[in-house]
Structure 1
Amino acid sequence: MTGDDEPVREPLRVAAAQIEAVGGDLAGNAAAHVAAVAEAAALGARVVVFPELSLCGYDYPLLAADVARCEVEVGDAVLRTVGGACRAHRVTAVVGGCARRADGWAIAAFVVGPDGAVAATYHKRHLDADERAVFVAGHTDTMVQLGGWRLGLGVCYDASFPEHARGLALAGADAYLVSGAFTVGDSDHRRGVYFPARALENTSYVLFANYAGAHGGWRFAGHSAVYGPDGRALAAAGTAAGLAVADLDVAVLRRQRDSQRMLRDRAAPAPAPSPVVIAPPDPGQRSDQHEEHR
């Protein structure tokens, strides 16, 4: 949480990159990342976040049939391509791919720093039923620091669990960066609820990056956005490919946390309650009041 005795931090401009992807086309998708990094950097962004599995696409039939085709590992060609763009533009990017682990495959978010190297990797902790058939869940959270700003990472379904963003905020995160793959319909409705709520309830900035277009049999909802710590949208990308760009401002963050003190005022966890049983009325008895008003 922001403290009064910390050094002054400069605003941090961030961008959610709403790209279209082709399932399994890692080289082509990496080229789209390069273009988005350049466009975001031209607008002054220092951090660019891409959707879930952005380098291979969220193509579930392909992932289920041949997940190894979508493997991304540190040092491989697609991460070197993204790294070259980050180095050229002095940008940090959060990109997605399938990571091979000893116990299976993980949905990974790779943080590529402005030197072009992978600085951190996060494995999605919350998997839905379909994903559990292909992937294993991560067990730890990840937070990176850039220019004094502490940025916690999430991937898509993670944001459905308020305790995930709350845990990062309590650990000191100023912003929650989420790579998503939300589709049109009910998924889009949930998207519209989750991200402003995670921002307001944690008095944190939230950046959400989603896909535009369609691939893998899904039509994606877009609406990538940056939310302020009051839950209001600062920038939104609509439904077409593009960017949502906004500044993280420490003065705004401090004012909101001074005004809305949920992180400080939360009660200690209470014991699980036992239900108080209320007996239903005896249908064979009529109350006096009922008799009186017949």
Structure 2
Amino acid sequence: MITPPRAVPAEPLTVATVQATPTPGDVAGNAVAGADLVRRAGAQGARVAVLPELYLCAYHPPTLAADPTGTDVAADPAGVVVDPRLDPLRAAAREAGVTVLVGAAARHPDGRRTIAALVVDRAGAVRVGYDKQQLWGDENDLFSPGGRGATLLVDDWRLGLGICYDGCFPEHGRAAALDGAHGYLCPSGYLAGSEHRRDLYYAARALDNTMFVVFANAVGGTDPWRFNGGAAIYDPQGRALARGADEGTDVLVATLDPAALAATRSAHTMLADRLPDQGGPRVSLSG
């Protein structure tokens, strides 16, 4: 039996997506800069802010390979992160009343190193919310994949978590939707030259699953690790509510409207109509 989508939230939720240029290896400095971005988001009414993949250490594989100790944050067995370098970000989340999703390299007690989405809650507590499951290319040389999905609860909104390459797999967003997600948060790092795929994947995940999608991205840097911005927030039909340019730091804000979610899911019932064994069984035909 297919589980139908959950009831829509009662109230709107204002969210922010960020595109920014962190400094490779400077966790403390990037946390300070991230705190300013969170305050900007809060000043525009956002209750959730999404920063890019690996933002705290920067997506720069040579630095991540050369200095794993300095670029990682340590998580305890429960996923809690206590690192004084993150204090500015914790303070900004408390002061602005914003739940923050920020990318980091996380070191787990069993020695695994993951590409993580840290959740900084409105009380300033930090924990690993999700570890990237689909590693891309040479990420496999530096990181271990996560083993589970995750859904973040904010007010009465259910927000599935993905990181960059996860969002290239329709099954990943669909798993979030089938867990009742109303939205899908994707901190990412898309390199210059990937603009077509960047703009297609996350709009498609929104329409595939009739849910909002919040896509954050790094921007700038030096080739071959130069990123292309274009952070965006998509409605449940895949239309951009906000979109950043391909260059420059930006904080983009939009309000997720439960009425739009309900109307879309009423008109486009893919989640409710999905077959238990979608597409199967199959036969081979001769032409």
TM-score (norm 1): 0.89
Name which of structure 1's ranges 79-88 and 169-178 shifts more when overlaid on structure 2.
Answer: 79-88
Moved more, 40-49 or 75-84: 75-84
Instruction: Indicate if the aligned counterparts of 2:188 and 2:215 stay in contact, CA closer than 8 A.
Output: yes
Letter in 2 for 1:29: N
Structure with the greater alpha carbon radius of gyration: 1
RMSD of the TM alignment (CA)?
1.5
Say if 2:28 and 2:86, in contact at 8 Å, map to a contact too: no
Aligned residue for 1:23?
24
1:275 and 2:276 correspond? no
Give the C-alpha shift of residue 147 in structure 1. Answer: 1.2
Mapping of residues 230-245 of structure 1, within 5 Å: 230-238=237-245, 239-245=247-253
| CA distance in structure 1 between the partners assigned to 2:142 and 2:219 by the alignment | 24
Identity of aligned residues (%): 43
Aligned 8 A contact 2:162 2:185 in 1:
yes
Question: What's the secondary structure of 2:185's corresponding residue?
Answer: strand
Give unmatched runs, 5+ long, in structure 2: 75-80
1:67 to partner: Cα distance: 2.3
**1:100 corresponds to which of 93, 103, 107:** 107
Query: Could you say which residue in structure 2 is the equivalent of 1:289?
Result: none
Matched, 1:137 2:151: no
The alpha-carbon deviation at position 266 of structure 1 amounts to 1.3
What residue in structure 1 maps to residue 217 of structure 2? 210
Distance 1:138 1:120 in 2: 11
Q: CA deviation at 1:219?
A: 1.4
2:78 aligns to what? none
Separation in 2, partners of 1:58, 1:112: 20
Contact 1:19 1:32 in 2 (8 A): no
Mapping of 1:150-165 within 5 angstroms? 150-165=158-173
Q: Which residue of 2 aligns with 1:43?
A: 44
Consecutive unaligned residues in structure 1, runs of 5 or more? 279-294
Q: Give the structure 2 partner of residue 34 of structure 1.
A: 35
Task: Write the letter of the residue equivalent to 1:275.
Answer: S
Which amino acid letter does the alignment assign opposite residue 181 of structure 2?
A: A
Q: How many residues align?
A: 274
Counterpart position of 2:235: 228
The one-letter code of the counterpart of 2:143 is F
> 3-state SS of the aligned residue for 2:228?
coil
Given that 1:59 and 1:215 are in contact with CA atoms closer than 8 Å, whether structure 2 keeps it comes out as no
**Residue in structure 1 matched with residue 124 of structure 2 by the alignment:** 116
Structure 1 residues 104-140: Cα deviation after superposition (integer angstroms, max 9, x where no partner) = 2100111110000025521000001200111100001
